[in-house]
A = this chain, B = another copy of it.
Amino acid sequence: MKPKISDVAKLAGVSPTTVSRVLNNRGYISEETRENVQKAMNELNYFPNDVARSLFNKRSNLIGIILPTTSNPFFGELTFHLENISASLGYKVLLCNSLNRIDKEEKYLEMLMRNQVDGIIVGTHNRGILNYHKQNLAVVAIDRNLSETIPVVSSDNYEGGKIAIKLLIEKGCQTIIHINGQKELETPAMLRRNAYEDVMNNNGRTPITYEVPDVFDRQSQQQVISKIFDDYPNVDGVFASNDLFAASFITEAKKRGLDVPGQVKVVGYDGTETTQILLPELTTIQQPIASIAKTAIELLVKEIEGDFSEIPLETRLPVKLIEGTTT
């Protein structure tokens, strides 16, 4: 059996209270006692049971992360950073891949509550989370407007969209199409679309957006992309709301014998490490993933610690154009 505090106490010839004091470095303990206790702990290979501690302290040091799927490179990298930063601040991460499915999100949410997480980072719809937030659970959203009171961290989506479209226009594209996920008003990512539409309109062009119904389904993606070529054989510019869409588009373009960037130019969004390695030629708008993660966790920790003084409701981090050879 795992040793517990009373085993250590017995071996060290002190009370459990004293062992706890040594463990937590609290109150006065004589140097001698401390050493005895330490020795006993080593001998028994003891470490404290955090479940018991959490129960007493009403603090789990657990953070829940709900996002669509770590299979996606953007979320995979985001998760890495979120977890690593959490760890550096003494928090542990409970991971939930919801695939954007509402039923899963609800189950995960309840699971996180039951496990007494101190806070949640949300990267999915999750309107249900509102209820919990009201019960003063700390929440920070990434790229989602969940409510008036939940802070959102995101890249500067509007600016990113603007840069992308302006580049395509500058490069002389005539028929510029936008590929995005389904219109959901609550996502700042929609700002990429808004930027596209604004810049197009301002330049006397008609915005044309194609929506991929299930963002994480490859088939769904490919069908939409095929349709674009069928509907607009003369498409010569594409701004995709993520790099995977962009890549799929390029693949299809090549399949149809079109030269990129000769006949059609493409700009993506995200600019993950993985894209940089697998598809370095892609021109894309790079999100500052590490900063997004850092900001989100820092805000969450502030909320957890009850410091609401400096919590901006919106944090927009700067994007960066990475010019490859697809434009």
Residue positions of A touching B, CB distance < 8 A: 2, 45, 47-52, 54-55, 60, 65, 69-73, 75-77, 79-80, 83-84, 87, 92-97, 107-108, 110-111, 113-116, 135, 218, 243-244, 247-248, 251, 272-280
Q: From residue A290, how far is it (CB to closest CB) to chain B in Å?
A: 10
Question: Dominant SS at the A interface?
Answer: helix
List the B side residues contacting A54 at CB < 8 Å: 51
Contacts A273-B218, A278-B279, A279-B278 given; does A50 touch B114 at CB 8 Å:
yes
- Neighbour of A277 across the interface among B65, B77, B115, B218, CB < 8 A: B218
Contact A93 B94 (CB under 8 A): yes
List the B side residues contacting A60 at CB < 8 Å: 51
Q: How far is it, in angstroms, between the C-alpha of A110 and the C-alpha of B50 when the chains are bound?
A: 11
Q: How far is it, in angstroms, between the C-alpha of A113 and the C-alpha of B47 when the chains are bound?
A: 8
Q: From residue A258, how far is it (CB to closest CB) to chain B in Å?
A: 16
List the B side residues contacting A94 at CB < 8 Å: 92-95
Contact A92 B111 (CB under 8 A): yes
Contacts A76-B76, A93-B95, A243-B278 given; does A49 touch B114 at CB 8 Å:
yes
List the B side residues contacting A84 at CB < 8 Å: 97
List the B side residues contacting A244 at CB < 8 Å: 274, 277-278
Q: From residue A294, how far is it (CB to closest CB) to chain B in Å?
A: 15
- Neighbour of A48 across the interface among B52, B114, B251, B273, CB < 8 A: B114
List the B side residues contacting A248 at CB < 8 Å: 277
List the B side residues contacting A113 at CB < 8 Å: 47
Q: From residue A218, how far is it (CB to closest CB) to chain B in Å?
A: 7
List the B side residues contacting A277 at CB < 8 Å: 218, 244, 247-248, 251
Q: From residue A232, how far is it (CB to closest CB) to chain B in Å?
A: 22
**Other than the known A70-B76, A80-B97, A92-B111, what 7 A-B pairs have Cβ atoms closer than 8 Å?**
A47-B113, A51-B116, A71-B272, A79-B79, A84-B97, A93-B95, A218-B276
List the B side residues contacting A48 at CB < 8 Å: 114
